[in-house]
Amino acid sequence: MLNRNDAICAIATGNGGSIAIVRVSGENAFSILKRCFSPIKRIKNAYQHGRMMYGNVYDESGETIDEAMAVCFYAPNSYTTEDVFEIQMHGGTMSAQAVLKTLVSLGARMAEPGEFTRRAFLNGRIDLSEAEAVMGIVGAKSQSALRASIRQLKGGVSAGIGKAREELISLVALISAATDFPDEIDEDVTAKNVSGRAKKVCDYLISASDKRHARILRQGASVVLAGLPNVGKSSVMNALLSCERAIVTDIPGTTRDVLTESVELNGVRLSLSDTAGLRDTEDTVEKIGVQRARDALKDADVVLYVLDAAREMTDEERENLTEMDDRYIVVLNKSDLDSVISLENAVTISAKTGEGISYLTDKIIEKIGVDAENEDLMTLPRHIECAERATEAINRAIAWIEGGMPLDFAANDLTEALNALGDITGESMNENVIDRVFKDFCVGK
């Protein structure tokens, strides 16, 4: 795709809304607008920046297509930084399609997917990671994913990457000074300095590109309830969801399948799964449920292992307690009844009365260990992959230095790391990377 400034047009809204918006960007945009739209009343300075005009939109033959609102955004103060106008008309497909056809007949070209945002990027208004954030906002499936994309759009990721790049540039400069002026600059001192500072950049990139954190911010964390039948798993799930969704009965073994619900706690989306009680059974259907429960446990970020505080632990439960890894929280339920169990580190609750539930939610969030407000965290696999390429290159540079090799070797790898980070923000202007980012955009964005 060429970086042109020709007028492009597209329907910016999805199907089925009550309003449809058609957007045009590029040179001649306003002359195109004036040939297919006229305000109903004569208003002074009608075509001012940002001013909504009520009027009619016409086709090539002067026939009214629709009553509409139009608004102009003058370069550079627009989404693309070019002259942009939008026409808002009645929803449905016919009217917007007719307007689009007219715009094309007046010289605009149908936009390619993501071309408006691509222009915003190529014209320097946003960087590549901010352009991707636009897609993240459109596709967000949870509040935490939306917030992560907003942070990214406001330059959260770019700021951290910018600092890391600046540091790498200064390390490459140090190396080149040391190699250019060997009599004046001590190479050993420079080598120590560079490797120390390069390690810090690496540490930053490793923590900012943590895959588990990224997945949890994007998709949410999985929390699985486990325990023997009748300890109150479904009731705990209901208490966490604050609604009656799981079936609660006092016949052991009622939750035969894995029941999953979504809930948002402290900005992090959780998928809560209530599993079949983990017990040996001859019932074929229940057996499948128990197997699914075991599968869900393997993939869980947090497991709530529920015990009934009002009855003695079984041998199986005691054994389970010894096999737990650090994803587990032991939940001592039914605290409203006379307790016969006391366990250190268990969270005591009553699903019936709600006692301890808010403490349990705090513990779950603590166990997940993701700070949804952390500005530096990358959420997109593409960014993480670039950061990994950068850390590998930095580690190679450190290995050269520590192996006593000439500093030039390290400079090459640090430059490679610099380019990998430049792929995140688009500063490297790698055409393949840019194409890859915009290929998933929708038309009109």
Q: How near is the Cβ of 234 to ligand GDP at its closest, in Å?
A: 3
Q: How near is the Cβ of 249 to ligand GDP at its closest, in Å?
A: 6
Within 8 A by CB and 6+ apart from 415, the residues are: 168, 172
Q: How near is the Cβ of 212 to ligand GDP at its closest, in Å?
A: 28
CB 5 within 8 A of CB 105: no
Cα 72 from Cα 83, distance rounded (Å): 8
Parallel, antiparallel, or unpaired for β 64-73 and 259-265? unpaired
Q: Which residue is nearest to ligand GDP (CB)?
A: 232
Site string for ligand GDP, 340-379 (x = CB under 6 A): ----------xxx---------------------------
DSSP 242-269: TS--S---SSTT---S-EEEEEEETTEE
Cα 308 from Cα 335, distance rounded (Å): 9
Q: How near is the Cβ of 266 to ligand GDP at its closest, in Å?
A: 23
CB 263 within 8 A of CB 241: yes
Q: Is 229 one of the binding residues for ligand GDP (CB under 6 A)?
A: yes
Residues 30-49 that bind ligand GDP (CB under 6 A): none
Q: Is 195 one of the binding residues for ligand GDP (CB under 6 A)?
A: no
Which helix (DSSP H) or strand (DSSP E) does residue 361 occupy? helix 357-368
Cα 354 from Cα 95, distance rounded (Å): 54
Residues 5-34 that bind ligand GDP (CB under 6 A): none
DSSP 8-state symbol, 114: T
Structure tokens belonging to residue 95: 């009217």
The window from 3-11, 147-155, 245-253, 393-401 that contacts ligand GDP (CB under 6 A) reads: 245-253
Cα 206 from Cα 224, distance rounded (Å): 28
The letter for the amino acid at 363 is K
Residues 78-137 that bind ligand GDP (CB under 6 A): none
Closer residue to ligand GDP, CB minimum distance, 147 or 311: 311
Structure tokens belonging to residue 139: 């596709």
Closer residue to ligand GDP, CB minimum distance, 43 or 343: 343
Q: How near is the Cβ of 355 to ligand GDP at its closest, in Å?
A: 8
Closer residue to ligand GDP, CB minimum distance, 119 or 334: 334
Cα 424 from Cα 129, distance rounded (Å): 6
Residues 311-340 that bind ligand GDP (CB under 6 A): 333-334, 336-337
Size of the residue set binding ligand GDP (CB under 6 A)? 20
Q: Which residues bind ligand GDP (CB under 6 A)?
A: 227, 229-235, 248-250, 255, 277, 333-334, 336-337, 350-352
